[in-house]
Amino acid sequence: MSYLIKRADVTELVDRLAAAKNLPKIEAIKLALERELEREAAKPSLVDATLHFAAQLRKRTDPEGGLPADKAWIDGLYEES
């Protein structure tokens, strides 16, 4: 399958990358696509990112040193000041 690039800005980017890397245009496109796919694959999954966030949050808190969330404390949330 072949592609026809009709956008001048994309053509310019291809030309610039090919010139910077001293590659044929098709190789520059292939290189850019491979690098972008590698970058995408290296990103952590949403689950991993969430687990990391939760672990970091847990490190910053002291669950044993907090105030008790008993009935009196909860009722105090609804009192008007």
pTM of this prediction? 0.59
- Comparing 81 with 48, the larger pLDDT belongs to 48
Q: Residue 60 domain-assigned?
A: no
Q: What domain count does the chain have?
A: 1
Q: Assess if residue 75 is contained within a domain.
A: no
> From the CB of residue 28, how many other CB atoms can be counted at a distance below 10 Å?
20
Domain that holds residue 14: 1-44
Is pLDDT above 90 for 51?
Answer: yes
Residue 56 pLDDT:
92
CA 37 – CA 29 distance, rounded (Å) = 12
Question: Which residues have C-beta within 8 Å of that of residue 15, sequence separation ≥ 6?
Answer: 25
